[in-house]
């Protein structure tokens, strides 16, 4: 079993602020039919440029290294191909824009020595992106890690894992510390590894399970513990919050990273998806957590006026 599930189960079993409504899971899943579940990156609201195989691979590691914490007032937005974009779409657009401008953003030595000015140009938008200095440090870490252990090439990291998902997850989270997404809860380490799992599932999706994306045990990845999927699960009634936690979220109060409330939200989100998968397996043999994750995240991009906010946590992990 993925250690993420092992360590988060104890949180779910002792949760006080967050609960999973299993009756609603059964109801939602009885009406849910997922056919040819789209890879989330295929849902971009703009045409994607053609990338060679190696750059597709590089994009997943490098872009997902910065794929976190977009909220703020006002929200960071990027203009790309005549559109104003925010969140993950804005981050992806920033990378595509940088490639179009000829910036060597997949060169490990360039990343290891990248300046604040260069990062500011790559991520230029309005206002400055949150946690800017942390993103500078992470890009330098990615470049240094690739140069130190993998001769500057992400493909060498992939080959070191011999196409095994959990081995690759271990390597990414060990060799790139900013990808090691964990916390201490009641004296025990709890793992989430949101961005690392997203990068790996992104490789699988980008290559349609072929070539560089031909992994063994892809079904062992969990959903990705973030902002948008808990919001979607709450909207459907699958996730339920205590009154005080619901009030904090609805009034956009910050939930500290590593707090009981934040850890319970993330752990229960992961296990809610696991229970959904179990409910669907009879009708949809082979359904995987990453399929539900992609579908739920894309559902969260369909915004309506009555939507309740997502929880606010300032962190580099999601």
Q: Report residues of the chain scoring pLDDT below 50.
A: none
How far is Cα 318 from Cα 313, in angstroms, rounded to an integer?
A: 9
How far is Cα 225 from Cα 266, in angstroms, rounded to an integer?
A: 5
220, 226, 291, 293: the catalytic one is 226
Looking at residue 42, its pLDDT comes to: 83
Average pLDDT score, the chain:
96
Q: What angle do CA 140, 142, 146 make, to 5 degrees?
A: 120
Q: How confident is the model over 244-270, as pLDDT tens digits?
A: 999 999 999 999 999 999 999 999 999
Q: How confident is the model over 152-194, as pLDDT tens digits?
A: 999 999 999 999 999 999 999 999 999 999 999 999 999 999 9
276-284 long-range Cβ contacts below 8 angstroms, 24+ apart: 276/25, 276/28, 276/29, 276/238, 279/25, 279/26, 279/29, 280/29, 280/32, 280/34, 283/33, 284/33, 284/34
Looking at residue 210, its pLDDT comes to: 96
What single-letter DSSP state applies at residue 207?
Answer: T
For the entire predicted model, the pTM comes to 0.95
Q: At how many degrees (to 10) do helices 53-65 and 194-206 cross?
A: 160
226 annotated active-site: yes
């Amino acid at each position: 079993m993925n250690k993420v599930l092992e360590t988060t189960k104890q949180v779910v079993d002792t949760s006080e602020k967050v609960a999973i409504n299993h009756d609603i899971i059964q109801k939602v899943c009885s009406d849910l039919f997922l056919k040819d579940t789209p890879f989330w990156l295929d849902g971009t609201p703009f045409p994607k440029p053609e990338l060679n195989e190696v750059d597709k691979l590089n994009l997943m590691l490098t872009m997902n290294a910065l794929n976190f914490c977009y909220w703020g007032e006002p929200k960071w937005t990027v203009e790309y191909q005549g559109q104003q974009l925010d969140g993950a779409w804005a981050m992806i657009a920033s990378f595509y824009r940088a490639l179009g401008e000829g910036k060597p953003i997949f060169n490990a030595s360039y990343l290891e020595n990248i300046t604040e000015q260069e990062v500011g140009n790559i991520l230029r938008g309005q206002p400055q992106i949150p946690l800017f200095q942390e993103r500078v440090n992470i890009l330098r870490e990615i470049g240094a890690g690739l140069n130190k252990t993998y001769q500057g090439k992400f493909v060498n990291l992939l080959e070191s894992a011999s196409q095994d998902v959990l081995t690759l997850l271990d390597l990414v989270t060990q060799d790139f510390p900013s990808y090691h997404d964990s916390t201490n809860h009641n004296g025990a380490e709890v793992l989430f590894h949101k961005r690392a799992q997203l990068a790996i599932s992104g490789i699988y999706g980008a290559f349609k399970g072929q070539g560089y994306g031909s992994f063994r045990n892809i079904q062992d990845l969990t959903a990705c513990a973030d902002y948008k999927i808990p919001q979607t699960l709450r909207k459907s009634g699958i996730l339920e919050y205590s009154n005080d936690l619901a009030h904090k979220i609805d009034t956009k109060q910050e939930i500290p990273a590593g707090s009981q409330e934040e850890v319970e939200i993330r752990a229960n989100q992961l296990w809610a998806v696991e229970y959904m998968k179990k409910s669907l397996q009879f009708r949809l043999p082979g359904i995987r957590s990453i399929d539900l994750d992609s579908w739920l995240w894309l559902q969260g991009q369909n915004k309506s006026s009555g939507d309740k906010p997502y929880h606010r946590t300032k962190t580099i992990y999601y």
